[in-house]
Structure 1
């Protein structure tokens, strides 16, 4: 029997192998550089994730996160876990699906503590596809600060560091000093050889302090100036006793008024609610913080990067301190009861003999919080803006007009006092705001 040979590899085989290798490499690169990664239904992959983001933030973000559990489960890769037809029914009316006895719906409802999901009959399939397109986007990696790259290169050997430049300048200065010394020495030797006289040093006069001590007028002027400087400095120092303007202590949990009152425009009296009705503005309970932070467990990557670069603050770590103090368990989305007190550091502190009522100024006087506390919406770290001295308060009373509209008592007294002071607008001072008993009792 004739022995047959196996067909040797030819160019066609190499071409097919190359094509398979190229296809596999391209697919792997697509996995790394973008795309959704795992399989996503075509209707979702081709949907508009930008519109989906708007819908998600307005309808879903209160209970769901993309990559972490919240009141409801994390939604990323939900298209892997559920069929599209089922998702359409569940999102439009979950309770109806549960009542129909659907096993997946019932299991999900019981697994998440029987928390009812809102119905969204206004959403069509296109809207749901857009939401799912946004949900299925891969988790973004933390952004690298491009501006910090040159500095890192300089320190890591990618460029010339400042220390090297300063070292080179020091060496050049040393070399120039040596050259100047040698030139001077050579010129002196040349003058000596050629009989050229070298100028001798001038005779030394009296030390300047001796000449000053012998001049009685200068001594008198200096003594008077010194006494005035000591008196002025002492007066200024004593007037600052008890004045803590600019005091900005580091709190046990960092709170950024810039982000809360500034970027998110949270009204001051939402947190400091007692300022409307009480003498004190009060420190808000941590439960007020948890109204929002049950859902906000981490900040946006760009906000986190800004906090670390500009202020040296890790916002996500501070949120974890809040959870630890309130006993909030992010895995079960419930309070454990294991709470810890937060030792806040007081910033504004009036003397005991001075009376100040927040409600009288905020509610009755309708004074803006920024009048006394400054532009808090721009503060990363809260500080005492005003000196809070007696003179500062009196000047405010002299300059602030009373708002009498809609107040029958003020309208009556305004008519009498307007005739007395011959003015159209009455200030707090003219209404008795300078009487000692108003603030001291």
Structure 2
């Protein structure tokens, strides 16, 4: 019997696979070791400052983050290593920081030279005093400002830079591209192995005289000719095709002008999920004209700056989530906002050099259809989500409802009119309730189906 050489290439493939996984596991171990070393550095910094950086971070975010950043100037100066800088440059100790944080106006009034220097440098606005913070709380805050950034964040930043700004993988620091590349390589090796096994089995079969394929000795009648000769089958097929075509043509024509699901890309990415969902910002805070106007209005960028004048970047967790799940760098979008309103982040002032933002409209009714937001929001008390869907869950805003005439009519037929506290409807409701013999009137029974209400 002929000997088939199949062991040698397969053993090579298996050896390469084992070697690859050994290298991958070694890389993972090295990254975990670097992460643990970074954690030990942060612990050493905490011991040197005599405070807890973790507790200090929570206190910093609660009391200081509105006006201060660790790395850049905001309403107040940057606070990274503030204690060591003051000791080296001004000769001030921690006791001075205790006095300044707890009662900055009092320290300024006492004539302290550096306190007055800071007061004059920052538009003669004294820092808000925090008398409720204990010395231990301040020690924790100073430990946080002195602590180096944790290693995982630095690793993620380096990975993002190497990947051209794309989102990194999970918290272990291994990028999604590395894991995906490893899986592709493994599947490729498996395919090669299967091909080699298939070729080897064919050689064995041929050596033993086994016939793998057999040509047909006679030609059969083509399928299309058999179909054409059956007149009944042809007739049934034609009828089915005509009915199916009519159904799809009707469905297509009924969708003309219906933009349900329309989700355009905006010039500045705005996450309703973060603002309306995570931060619980009311819809009408931004779309304030919905209470009193026909339209909901496009919010002015000054409304955005009410918050983003101090919020110049998002948390590391939110930034990583945005890159990984949505491919968005939220910090870059905030910079687009600053460029549009002409905000000089470094000097904390407006430059006057603004840029228009060309927002893309999403919801658009035909010109012959009248809709008044204030009538529905203020008078009827309808929630925004009833028409616009779960906005608080949308990363990118899209048209949730079809906004067709039938959709509006059904809503008028099913929605009861709210008359509590509305004297305008009391008399009308009393008269029409007798007419229809009901206790609750729908919008349709109040005239909501009259053509002139929406088509004037």
- Smaller-chain TM-score bracket: 0.7 to 0.9
Q: Higher relative contact order by CA 8 Å / sep ≥ 6: 1 or 2?
A: 2
Q: Distance in 2 between matches of 1:68 and 1:138?
A: 16
Matches within 5 A, 1:128-167: 128-141=138-151, 142=153, 144=156, 145-146=170-171, 149=174, 152-153=177-178, 160-167=185-192
Q: State yes or no: 1:310 paired with 2:335.
A: no
- DSSP 3-state at the match of 2:174: helix
| Higher mean C-alpha displacement, 289-298 vs 151-160 | 151-160
The offset of 1:160, in angstroms, is 4.4
The farther-off stretch of 84-93 and 302-311 is 84-93
Q: Distance in 2 between matches of 1:122 and 1:201?
A: 94
Cα shift readout 1:47-79 (whole Å, capped 9, x = no counterpart): 344443443333322211223221000112111
Note the C-alpha offset of 1:326. Answer: 1.1
The equivalent of 1:168 in structure 2 is 193
CA distance in structure 1 between the partners assigned to 2:285 and 2:412 by the alignment = 27
The unaligned stretches of length 5 or more in structure 1 are 1-28, 190-198
How far residue 413 of structure 1 moved from its aligned partner, in angstroms, is 1.5
Instruction: Count matched residues.
Output: 399
Cα distance in 1 for residues equivalent to 2:39 and 2:220:
82
Q: Indicate the residue corresponding to 2:78 in structure 1.
A: 74
Q: Deviation string for 1:10-45 (max 9, x for gaps)?
A: xxxxxxxxxxxxxxxxxxx9888424777x896xx3
CA distance in 1, matches of 2:247, 2:216: 45
Aligned to 2:388: 373
Deviations 1:89-133 (A, max 9, x none): 211221222222211011111222222211223333233223323
Which of structures 1 and 2 has the bigger CA Rg?
Answer: 1
Paired residue for 1:403?
A: 418
Return the TM-score normalized by structure 1.
0.83
Partner of 1:267: 282
Question: Structure 1 residues 33, 53: closer, same or farther in 2, change over 3 A?
Answer: closer
Matched, 1:102 2:117: no
1:60 to 48, 64, 76: 64
Give a deviation string over 1:218-265, Cα, whole Å, max 9, x none.
Answer: 111111111111110000000111111111111111111111111111
Q: Secondary structure at the match of 1:34?
A: helix
Considering only aligned residues, what root-mean-square deviation do their CA atoms show, in Å? 2.8
Deviation readout 1:316-348 (Å, 9 max, x if unpaired): 111111111111111101111111111111111
Q: Secondary structure at the match of 1:259?
A: helix
How far, CA to CA, are the matches of 1:173 and 1:369 in structure 2?
62
Unaligned stretches of 5+ residues in structure 2: 1-35, 87-91, 157-169
Of 364, 381, 401, 1:349 maps to 364
Contact residue 68 and residue 76 of structure 2 kept, 8 A: yes
1:252 and 2:267 equivalent?
yes
The TM-score, its normalising length taken from structure 2, stands at 0.80
Q: Residue 113 of structure 1 corresponds to which residue in structure 2?
A: 123
Question: Aligned pair in 2 of structure 1 residues 261, 124: CA closer, same or farther (>3 Å)?
Answer: same
Aligned to 1:223: 238
Aligned runs of 1:329-340 on 2, under 5 Å? Answer: 329-340=344-355
Distance in 2 separating the partners of 1:31 and 1:215: 79
1:222–1:151 CA distance, 2 compared to 1 (3 A)? same
Q: Is the 8 A contact 2:80 2:145 kept in 1?
A: yes
